[in-house]
Amino acid sequence: MTQKYDNDFKLHAVQLALEGHEPASEIARALGISVKSLYEWIAKYRDDPEIPFVGGGKLRPEVKAMRDLERENRQLREENEILKKPCASSATSGSSVCLDPRAPLRTSGSEDVQSPQCISERLLRMARTAGKSSLQAQKATDSSHS
């Protein structure tokens, strides 16, 4: 079974070895660790003295940043693919909301809106049309009940 040592212990062992007062084999024996482990810790320390011992779910800052960027990139690509899909139509209302700027916006009882500048403009037009339709339907219902 492998023994786990905390970063402070490893750093203390490396500093003792790098001071050079005693051979690495004696330092390792005195600390109860293998010479191989001590040399591995020294190599890691020399590679990156700022953050020499990572592990246990911890990542070097640059590796963590890279993983975060890759995750964000993957998420944005997925969202982009969703936005590129054709419009999802509602069979009951006959209207659809298109988020693909290349696709025409179709609303029930109106002309196509050709290539608006942005999605928010398209959604506002859709909301205005839907609001007018529901207001007309409500007026028709109110007048039939009178």
The domain ranges of the chain are 7-53, 85-145
pLDDT digits (tens, 9 = 90+) for 95-141: 555 555 555 555 555 545 444 456 767 777 777 777 666 656 666 66
Using the predicted structure, report yes or no on whether residue 4 has a pLDDT greater than 50: yes
Rg of the chain (C-alpha set): 33
* Distance in angstroms (rounded) separating the CA atoms of residues 24 and 20: 8
pTM of the model: 0.40
Using the predicted structure, report yes or no on whether residue 90 has a pLDDT greater than 50: no
